Structure 1
Amino acid sequence: MHGTTLWLLPEKAIYWPQQRALLIADAHFGKAAAYRRLGQPVPHGTTASNLAMLDRLLAQHDCGQLIFLGDFLHAPGSQGPATLAALMAWRERHTNLAVTLIRGNHDRRAGDPPAELGFQVVSEPWVVGPLALQHEPTPHSHLPVLAGHVHPVYRLHGRGRQSLRLPCFVLGGQVSLLPAFGAFTGGYAVRPGVGETVYVVGDGHVWPVAG
């Protein structure tokens, strides 16, 4: 893509070898906790599962930096003791990793992560090499954009009424989208536009969608 190589990963992330960077969109840490504080019956363990997946990705790839494309935390209620303790324990396992958060709409409501996490927090766009990294999927004046926010999913249709919604990457000329990394985030169904290619995530692989 525009002179650089990106690896689309089945864990719903991108590895950028030239930058030794792992890119994550829409982790929404603490979302389930925030919902439980409101009395909603939602699953436990999503923060732990997301952090375990991050650990595996960082072990598998040569990463000097981790970049969150917005919505690291879900809401003010996400900054509860249990969520923050889990995040601090994870950070202590990766003290030499540079971590950057590009503020998304949920981050502006939730507030920046605690300073003890040692994150660099920036506004969009954040230009790295030939790409503009953003949360919002809006075109840049002259650079191709990698963004999140949409939580894209693609519906595959089988026989009869059978269908399957899968998270997906959407690669385009001006703007490309990452799927939501978080385990409890939902999704927005997309169809490829002119000049766009969809890659669905399923069965531990990334698959291009024909047609």
Structure 2
Amino acid sequence: MTISAGTPFQFLNQDLLLLPQKAIYWQQEKALIAADVHFGKVGHFRKAGIAIPRNMEQDDLAMLSDLIHEHRPDKVIFLGDLFHSDMNNDWDWFVLWRSQFPRLQIILIKGNHDIISDKHYTDLGVILHKRLVVGPFLMLHHPLADPEKKEEDGYVLCGHIHPGVSLVGRGRQKVTLPCFAFGKNQAILPSFGKFTGKVAILSRKADRIFGVLKDKVIAIN
């Protein structure tokens, strides 16, 4: 197991640890938060005849397991798109993984890709919500339609768009890093799953952007 070099970030009087595995550990709630895992995406593409390495799904599950063993959370909150599409063989890997943590509370904020029957999740003890308020935060999947408009229920934590930040070097070389993007009314988490893309987002002066490198998280602004 690799110990993660997270970046501490105190926000709204809460202690958040921004992890290079593209998740957040929230110390006060003993909660691990991740967005857009997209389990089953490998199986979905392979089912369509597209050659994708099988071990990508297991890698994401192993990373989740490492984070759980390291931080020992009471709960894991998934901010939507836990599973990519309809049922396929990758579901069996998720069932096996769940059986290793029977006492761990797992909460899923349902996203647009979460189309598997609710019963399959509830049979595994996964708690489903469309939105959930925990402390000062409102857990959603989709970002706010108007990021300038504050949600009455709390500061939004969400996913969906797989945010990235573009950096340009002195030689004009360009790289786009996954990022945590904290704005005035919401924070958008990077996609946890390896088999996902990222979209460069525009940042305003008030935003706090944290880029994700292989083994650490760095403040961009």
* TM-score normalised by L of structure 2: 0.88
Residue 105 (structure 2) aligns with: 98
In the alignment, residue 54 of structure 1 is paired with which amino acid? L
Alpha-carbon deviations, 1:67-96, whole Å to 9, x = none?
Answer: 0000001111xx213x12211111111001
SS of residue matched to 1:140: coil
SS of residue matched to 2:218: strand
Contact map agreement 1:154 1:190 (CA 8 A) in 2: yes
2:82 aligned with 1:80, yes or no? Answer: no
Q: CA deviation at 1:115?
A: 3.3
Alpha-carbon deviations, 1:150-189, whole Å to 9, x = none?
Answer: 1001111113341112110001120111100001011111
SS of residue matched to 1:149: coil
Residue 138 (structure 2) aligns with: 132
Distance 1:144 1:150, change over 3 A: same
Structure 1 unaligned spans of 5+ = none
CA RMSD of aligned residues (A): 1.4
Q: What is the distance in 2 between the residues matched to 1:25 and 1:48?
A: 17
2:45 aligned with 1:39, yes or no? Answer: no
Residue from 149, 158, 168 that aligns with 1:147 = 158
Contact map agreement 1:74 1:110 (CA 8 A) in 2: no
SS of residue matched to 1:106: coil
SS of residue matched to 1:58: helix
In the alignment, residue 174 of structure 1 is paired with which amino acid? N
Structure 2 unaligned spans of 5+ = 1-10, 145-149
SS of residue matched to 1:18: coil
SS of residue matched to 2:15: coil
Query: How much identity, in percent, do the aligned residues show?
Result: 38
Q: Which is helix-richer, 1 or 2?
A: 1
Residue 196 (structure 2) aligns with: 185
Residue 176 (structure 1) aligns with: 187
2:19 aligned with 1:9, yes or no? Answer: yes
Q: CA deviation at 1:193?
A: 1.8
Counting matched residue pairs gives 205
In the alignment, residue 35 of structure 2 is paired with which amino acid? A
Distance 1:162 1:65, change over 3 A: same
Q: CA deviation at 1:142?
A: 4.7
SS of residue matched to 2:14: coil
